[in-house]
Structure 1
Amino acid sequence: MRHQVLIITRGLGPILTVVAVMVLALAIILFPQPVFQAALRGLKAWWEIVVPALLPFFIISQLFMGLGIVHFLGVLLEPVMRPLFNVPGSGAFVMAMGYTSGSPISAMLTAQLRQQGLVTRVEGERLICFTNNASPLFMLGAVAVGMLHNPALGPVLAGAHYGANFCLGILFRFYGRRQPVSPPVSYTLLALPRRAWQAMLQAQQRDGRPLGQLLGDAVNRSFLTLITIGGFIILFSVIIQVATILGLLEPLARILLYAGSPFGLSRDTSLPLAAGLFEMTMGTKFASEAAVPITERLVAISLIMGWAGLSILGQVAAMVSHTDLRLGPFIVARLLHGFLAAALVRLCQGPARPVLLLLAPEITLVPRAPWFTLWLYYTGFALTLVTVLFLLAGLGLGARYFLYRRS
């Protein structure tokens, strides 16, 4: 009996997929004008937000991979990444790029590390669970300035978003801890920088491409990846429009209202949550326009950005399709990310607000943050993160040196 139920369940998935695609195709034929407008909105969001935000980081990441800088950081930052997140030091590069440029670049880089054998399957799954973020440009620019019209709200959203994902990294270090791990780096303090330099030179020799070819391949591969991302954004923009026309978002919004009730979300934010279930950009736009208090809008936006949408899930699935990385842990991490980020926003706007006002009055009180704050969150974010990583690496090396001298 159980075997028959399993067969029926497995056969039901492809049937539902075919039915959904047929309904979507029929809706495109019956409602060409609104579908065209939805596709145009998706194309505009891709061209004006995604391409400028991600293309430079994509090209730089490809150059870093080809020049062996990832291998250099992998050896140098092993004392930081292994104890904190239970991943090799090369995960620091994925973390830095994921936190500064946004998804799905972390999935793309993790897939490349897996193909090169720098991480195991479990380590790769851990890595994509806590390095998938909304980009700083999206949170601080598109959401805070463009949608909410208040730059001072950007640090609140970014702090909750990144803080929740950092906590996920600590939590998921225990995922699959009984599984085999990549060989840890075990060099002495004085030998570690030299070994890191040698690892970079060896990686360059294995790659063997001249700089001109490396640059051309980086641009070509990056733009092809962005075209794939743009296709997902346009597709899910159309899906949201079709679901709205067919009246499917309302029942879904009523279901999601129960998920948001612990955070004090009302019926007015349930429809943006339903849209954000499919696509993050459209969901955050609808949430920013909801006629509710600002705290409720921030909580809804944090939920949506933490989940990231089925569009991001499809993009990540496409990035890791040529590897053995599984999406189950990633989906669980996205759900946890949304709830943790929403809880942190509620905490920052509630019990912790007096402390934040005391520590950073220029961010939380002034309607427009001063130039130094904007520089710190826009321009200096990547530099700050990399500096923190190297400071942590220095602390780890100091601890190792102390233990080495004691032994």
Structure 2
Amino acid sequence: MRTKDSLMIAAALLAAMLACLMLAFPAESFHASLRGIAIWWDVLFPALFPFFVISEIMLGVGMVHFFGTLLDPLMQPLFRVPGIGGFVMAMGFASGYPIGARLTSQLWEQRLINREEGERLVAFTTSSDPIFLIGAVSVGFFHNAALATVLAAAHYGSAILIGLLMRFHGKPSSGNPSQSSALSAGYSVQKSRTGILRRAFEAMHHARLMDGRSLGVMLQQAIYSGLKLMFVVGGLVVFFSVVMEVMTSSHVMVFFYAAIDSVLQLFGMPPTLSQAVVNGFFEVTLGAKSAGAAENIPLMFQTAIAAWVLSWAGLSVHAQIVSILHHTDLRYIPFIVARFIHGLMAAVLVIVLWKPLGPDRANLTAFIPLPDVTRPLTTLLQHTLPAAALTFTSVLGLLLLLSFGCFIGKRFIKRM
């Protein structure tokens, strides 16, 4: 109780301080609120809302269970999560944060994953979407589309490495978690007597029967829950936009910059990147923009800080994840530790991969066209949805191929 009371007192003092700063800088707070609303309406709403609706419909019709059964031979030994984690991974990489956390919470509600599996899953499926990485960061902030290759390799590669590290999180499970998940959904399968494709269709059929809603009701509830979550996300974006603005106007951020300067000097990085680090600690867009705007600094170090910002994701995204997972028993500590390690690994990978994948070597935009960052609706229709669909299909297709390879190899070893 004493620790809880202390946290409540600290939160109350912090809220009072922020209220005083907002009263001291009313014009700055107002303009920051308008910027936050513009980011939410022009970027986040069209980018995230369709995926919130689609993901819930796919859960209701059993498509997630179908792919989960097919991906179980790969996801279980590699990441110690059921096969449905592969679907969450593909959706998270394609549509960005906080889609991975949203799907994880829905799987937890249906008792398809336990707490430790959910903590592993949300730790490595929380990532940036490709259109933000390419369009906003590489093109909009750095004005160099060729940086997308090394940024994507470092960001998504380190996310997979985090998934491999998180498999050691939690106690070893007794039995097959995916089988217990299937039993909790109301059906059982004889793995030794039926093929994997047949089991996948049976899983989808049983999940559809267990859901029981008509398609119209399912769509209505998906839109309602998606809108509800989008307003929570928008409120958090506006809140952190105001917090960053009043802290900057009151020169409080100067103390954070000085502290980060000393840390960067220990690692041999230019101290002038401290503003990007501090801004990225609070909000991912401001941090990536500050990294691209830094002058007289080697491009490799700017890109490394941008990779750290994208992987850490900022306290604004952390607050979104917490708000989504608040009704579950998933803990925040494993998530924040994974975000911290993910950020460090992504920054290191940029430096390691700079020579083979730097802007002079490769260009990811040969596969994904450049977006028009000045036209949000055009970007949504012509770039965001096609890029997300391409990413989702590519990741899911690769996982399915690897899963079938693991399944066939395991059957072959058993026969031998």
Same fold (TM over 0.5): yes
Distance in 1, Cα, partners of 2:22 & 2:237: 16
1:88-111 Cα distance to aligned partner (Å, 9 max, x none): 111111111111111111111111
Aligned in 2, Cα 1:181/1:302: closer, same or farther, shift over 3 Å? farther
Aligned in 2, Cα 1:260/1:182: closer, same or farther, shift over 3 Å? farther
Residue 110 (1) aligns with residue 104 (2): yes
Instruction: Tell me the residue number matched to 1:77.
Output: 71
1:226-277 Cα distance to aligned partner (Å, 9 max, x none): 1111111110011111111222211112222344446543222101211111
Aligned in 2, Cα 1:361/1:302: closer, same or farther, shift over 3 Å? closer
Give 5+ residue unaligned stretches, structure 2.
Answer: 180-189, 371-382
Distance in 2, Cα, partners of 1:393 & 1:122: 22
1:149-193 Cα distance to aligned partner (Å, 9 max, x none): 121111221110000110000011011133557534471485221
Residue 234 (1) aligns with residue 244 (2): no
Q: Which moved more, 1:197-206 or 1:44-53?
A: 44-53
Alignment of 1:326-337 (within 5 A): 326-337=331-342
Match of 2:131 among 137, 152, 163: 137
Residue 389 (1) aligns with residue 394 (2): no
Alignment of 1:2-401 (within 5 A): 7=2, 9-179=3-173, 183-185=177-179, 187-188=191-192, 190-261=194-265, 264-291=268-295, 292-349=297-354, 353=355, 355-356=356-357, 361-363=361-363, 369-370=365-366, 380-401=390-411
**Counterpart amino acid of residue 398 in structure 1:** I
Aligned in 2, Cα 1:179/1:395: closer, same or farther, shift over 3 Å? closer
Deviation at 1:30, TM superposition (A): 2.0
Aligned in 2, Cα 1:10/1:53: closer, same or farther, shift over 3 Å? same
Aligned in 2, Cα 1:15/1:372: closer, same or farther, shift over 3 Å? closer
Q: Which moved more, 1:143-152 or 1:327-336?
A: 143-152
Instruction: Tell me the residue number matched to 1:3.
Output: none
Distance in 1, Cα, partners of 2:250 & 2:173: 46
Q: Secondary structure in 2 aligned to 1:133? A: coil
**Counterpart amino acid of residue 210 in structure 1:** S
Q: Secondary structure in 2 aligned to 1:150? A: coil
Aligned in 2, Cα 1:12/1:372: closer, same or farther, shift over 3 Å? closer
CA contact (8 A) 1:129 1:330 kept: yes
Q: Secondary structure in 1 aligned to 2:168? A: coil
Distance in 2, Cα, partners of 1:50 & 1:373: 20
Distance in 1, Cα, partners of 2:160 & 2:346: 11
Higher RCO (C-alpha 8 Å, min separation 6): 2
Aligned in 2, Cα 1:259/1:205: closer, same or farther, shift over 3 Å? farther
Q: Which moved more, 1:156-165 or 1:174-183?
A: 174-183
Distance in 1, Cα, partners of 2:216 & 2:111: 26
Distance in 2, Cα, partners of 1:257 & 1:294: 18
**Counterpart amino acid of residue 252 in structure 2:** L
Aligned in 2, Cα 1:400/1:262: closer, same or farther, shift over 3 Å? farther
**Counterpart amino acid of residue 353 in structure 2:** C
Distance in 2, Cα, partners of 1:211 & 1:184: 27
**Counterpart amino acid of residue 285 in structure 2:** T
CA contact (8 A) 1:43 1:230 kept: yes
**Counterpart amino acid of residue 133 in structure 2:** M
CA contact (8 A) 2:71 2:84 kept: yes
Aligned in 2, Cα 1:250/1:95: closer, same or farther, shift over 3 Å? same
Instruction: Tell me the residue number matched to 1:403.
Output: 413
CA contact (8 A) 1:53 1:137 kept: no
Distance in 1, Cα, partners of 2:362 & 2:131: 20
CA contact (8 A) 2:149 2:357 kept: no
CA contact (8 A) 1:145 1:151 kept: yes
Aligned in 2, Cα 1:110/1:88: closer, same or farther, shift over 3 Å? same
Deviation at 1:296, TM superposition (A): 1.8
Deviation at 1:129, TM superposition (A): 0.8
Identity, in percent, stands at: 38
Distance in 1, Cα, partners of 2:35 & 2:210: 44
Aligned in 2, Cα 1:309/1:83: closer, same or farther, shift over 3 Å? same
CA contact (8 A) 1:100 1:381 kept: yes
Distance in 1, Cα, partners of 2:47 & 2:349: 26
Deviation at 1:13, TM superposition (A): 1.8
Q: Secondary structure in 2 aligned to 1:175? A: coil
**Counterpart amino acid of residue 203 in structure 1:** A
